[in-house]
Structure 1
Amino acid sequence: MKRNIAIVWGGYTSEIVVSAKSMTGIASFLDKEKYNIYKVRIVKEEWTVDVEGSIYPIDKNDFSFVHPKHNTRIKFDFAYITIHGSPGEDGKLQGYLDMLGMPYSTCGVTASSLTMNKFVCNNYIKNFGVKVADSICLNRASKYDIENIAKRLGFPMFVKPNTGGSSFATTKVKSINQLQDAIEISFKETQDVIIESFIEGTEVTCGCYKVKNKEVTLPLTEVVTTNEFFDYSAKYEGQVEEITPARISEELTTLIQQTTSKIYDHVGAKGIIRVDFIIMNGIPYMLEVNTTPGMTATSFIPQQVRAAGLDITKVLTEIIENEF
């Protein structure tokens, strides 16, 4: 009998538009012969499932729905989470599914909560010898001095939502007179803001997943853009060149792959993750850990899977079957 798989997308942030693209990608990748696939949309107002173009409400008591056509209750066997941001990337949805005893594709509550908070995660990871940018975290109650921030981090610097993603509300700040406005822009997206020193170098990203008796660290992708940085338009509107495998030495590639694997274990990851780095003077600096990476046909992970000579459908099947 086929398992019922819910591709869970949507979310409470601006990243819902990215989540929609990832949902479409995952739906195209999953094995239709092996699974019944349902698209479940979670937003603050409602939880719904799309069945052949008809929309039905999700019963939150057991994460199921009643199919009016057959008058039968459909229960899901597995949730493939592709919500970028809250509640699918910060552990909230994972906690709900844990209480129901339903398996899912991503990291658990603790790992999701940790990696969602860029400042906390980076400062945790650097304890294991991984280089990260110097940073400051602010919340709305913080008392801060613009000149002290400028003196500590220097220019340029990045100001971005601490628990956001997809480069929404992110600003590359080049002078002190831009800093306050950049902070306010980020506060419109989340309740806390991270300000990071600028690291100049080659940007790369590395995917990794681990299942029973198997570990796969994928080829690196090099990110080249003529934009000020790898912003939303570069990520999703084609203003970027993505080169897989990255044009770096074999030794440096191996180091970053090994570092990615170690980070996977340090945060207690599950499923597929992606870790972003900047290489400066031959040293990789971790930027962030993505526990629900983009999964469109042109996203980094599918690119890297192809470059590794693997089949994305089989990879996702491994991720799902690992939970049973």
Structure 2
Amino acid sequence: MKKIAIIFGGHSSEHEVSINSARNIFKAMDKSKFTPVLLGVSKQGTWYSINEKDFETLESINDNKMAQEQTVTLIRAQSKVYALNLQNQQRQELDCAFAIIHGTNGEDGTMQGHLKILGLPFVGCGVMSSAIAMDKEVMKIVMTAAGIPNSKWAVLKSYETPDFDKISKQLGLPFFIKPANAGSSVGVHKIKSKEDFAVKIKDAFKYDHKVLAEEFIDGREVECSVMGLNQKPEAAMPGELVVKHEFYSYEAKYLDPNGAEIVIPAKITPEQIEQVRSLAVKTYQALYCDGLTRVDFFMKKDGSLMVNEINTLPGFTKISMYPMMWQAKGVQYGDLITKLIQLAFDKNDFDNQLNLDFRS
């Protein structure tokens, strides 16, 4: 059976979310086809082998609570990739990685680059598309160049003094601010006044040196899951978030069980469903994605669509919309995990066709 490294944790603000995603992937993985290998990354950046019993109740990974005997690293030797125990030097061969570390050093292209150098097939998008989608400024530049509708925006940098009057004149009030390289609505704030801005911009800059200011779009929040090679992706059934808070904050996502209602399929017309799916695929291809993404939209009152952002490593928690939208399309959770792993091998085979002459 193929040995699949499930890599989770990391030192981003989404550490705990990553562990929850990994736990669901582990449970859904078809054990008759795959052998999961649990590799947890601590908040300090150390890699550990995690046994299944501990994994059931694991809440976070910290160096001061982990045994030195569990430390591992990934190595490549004689065309194979292994998880090497740094204490006893025992190694376990790996066939593929399902890295589900959200945020910094997980979905920003750095983990993908590490796995790419090792030559280990991995689930999800590649280096470039991951990096583009993670940086919301670069994402918007690429989307705009590709003719994909998105909101007006401005970039604020920590080493400059942000000009509230200039921003509010450009974007109107209210507007949103969000760290350019963070997820799960961490550091996101709705700005209604100059006083409000002065306080909340400081919080946003805790998570990144670059903050995006975006115009407020009065519309419904619609999402669509996509997967596949870039040349032939397919879109799932769109879903809708009915947010009970003022906006879809971290609290609404993860802390308040009644913070948002998930409606799948979205209560929109069949024509609008196809428009969402079509624009989701166009966005996926424009950003050179080749694994899995969730594309988030605003649907304005006139029915027009604007892409809010694209997430190349969406959550797989119990309340995550990515797998739920595929279930609405007839793809069950376990089958989805199998498809994504097979896609990792297909993508690796496709990429290797370019390099066959150089490896002999």
TM-score bucket of the superposed structures, by smaller chain: over 0.9
Aligned to 1:97: 115
Contact preservation (8 Å) 2:124, 2:344? no
Identity among equivalent pairs (%): 32
Which residue pairs with 1:50 in the alignment? 50
CA contact (8 A) 1:67 1:73 kept: no
Point out 4+ residue stretches in structure 1 off by more than 3 angstroms: 52-55, 60-63, 66-69, 211-215
Please report how far the alpha carbon of residue 67 of structure 1 lies from its aligned counterpart in structure 2 after TM superposition: 10
- Kept in 1, the 8 Å contact 2:230–2:284? The answer is no
3-state SS of 2:338 partner: helix
Paired with 2:332 and 2:209, the residues of 1 have a C-alpha distance of 40
1:246 partnered with 2:266: yes
Matched residue count: 322
Distance 1:305 1:140, change over 3 A: same
Q: Distance in 1 between matches of 2:234 and 2:243?
A: 28
Among 177, 193, 200, which residue is 2:218 paired with?
200
Normalising by structure 2, report the TM-score. Answer: 0.85
* 2:5 aligned counterpart, secondary structure: strand
Contact 2:291 2:344 in 1 (8 A): no
User: Aligned AA for 2:217?
Assistant: I
What secondary structure sits across from 2:268 in the alignment? coil
Tell me if structure 1 keeps the 8 A contact 2:72–2:86: no
TM-score normalised over the length of structure 1? 0.94
- The answer (yes or no) to whether the contact 1:223–1:243 under 8 Å persists in 2 is yes
How far the C-alpha of 1:53 sits from its partner, in A, is: 4.1
- Residue 11 of structure 1 and its aligned partner are, at CA, apart by 2.0
2:73 aligned to which of 59, 63, 68: 59
Pick closer, same or farther for the CA change 1:52–1:309 going to 2, 3 Å.
closer
Contact 1:19–1:83 (8 Å) recurs in 2: yes
1:1-324 to structure 2, matched below 5 A, reads 2-43=1-42, 44-53=44-53, 56-62=70-76, 64-66=83-85, 72-211=90-229, 215-236=233-254, 237-238=256-257, 239-280=259-300, 281-324=302-345
Higher alpha-carbon deviation: 204-213 or 134-143:
204-213
Cα displacement string for residues 255-283 of structure 1 (whole angstroms, at most 9, x for unaligned residues): 11001111111111122210000011211
Q: Secondary structure at the match of 1:229?
A: coil
Q: Aligned-residue CA RMSD in angstroms?
A: 2.0
Q: CA deviation at 1:118?
A: 0.8
- Distance, in Å, in 2 between the alignment partners of 1:200 and 1:66 is 52
* Paired residue secondary structure (2:212): strand
- Secondary structure of the 1:323 match is helix
CA 1:206–1:212: 2 relative to 1, 3 Å: closer
Contact 1:211/1:319, CA 8 A, preserved across alignment: no
Partner in structure 1 of residue 351 of structure 2: none
